[in-house]
Structure 1
């Protein structure tokens, strides 16, 4: 399930690949929209290519190897997180932070991340809920979009959290006019 969520959020990051500003737009901790991998490594030397095997959502009896660029082990309070930098046409389009494992301990991580985002960005513009997902979206005036996806698995009382930083996509009207 976590692997499917990661694939969904990668899609969210790539969907935001529409440039909206001509000036450099910071996404997270000094990395800017449109940077190359080399530029990202100058800021985060621990970033590297790695591969993870995930379930193919089209055929769950198969797996697919996905290549990522980032690192595991970012410490946030007592939480361990993975950072991934997502590129399109060799340009950075989004940054994604995810809790490293699904566990009961992650409820504390989830609350810590949520409180930090509320403190930094105030109340989200959009909140969506379903049986196992809760999504918070902040659209900042400078076109930065922050999306937090919390997935909970009630039968096991476990949690997973992902935060994605991207550029707010243009609306259909904005792209036409």
Structure 2
């Protein structure tokens, strides 16, 4: 009988009862993005300290999708990088977002959830070259659709496209990316 891929990988190793968290898988990163948006929203509205948000989301319940289903374990390193990156570069991120908004729509007019989505997405576009621009954009537009049924996802998409083209011009030249 041929061993399964899991059996082949674990053969010769001591088994551990400890469940390993997936790191870097698309599902774990998607869950980390959702958790990051939720945590950033909480940090903005309730002024939750970043250390508390990190502890809550890394040890608390698994995030749910828009249908109330568990997404699975989050990538803890990716989640922490998103939170720390947004928190550490908030002024720069906000200035970039403001620069992409029309003059009649100031940054202060954005809802807290818009700010959380845009800050997290923009941080990925700006500082996470390992994530293709179109992947980051699609992930956050999908999250916007999970939170909003109206025109908000289109606005998030338009802003992210503008910002992504400014930050990652090479990925958009000649259809690359």
TM-score normalised to structure 2 length: 0.24
Higher alpha-carbon Rg: 2
Structure 1 length-normalised TM = 0.24
Q: Which has the higher strand share?
A: 1
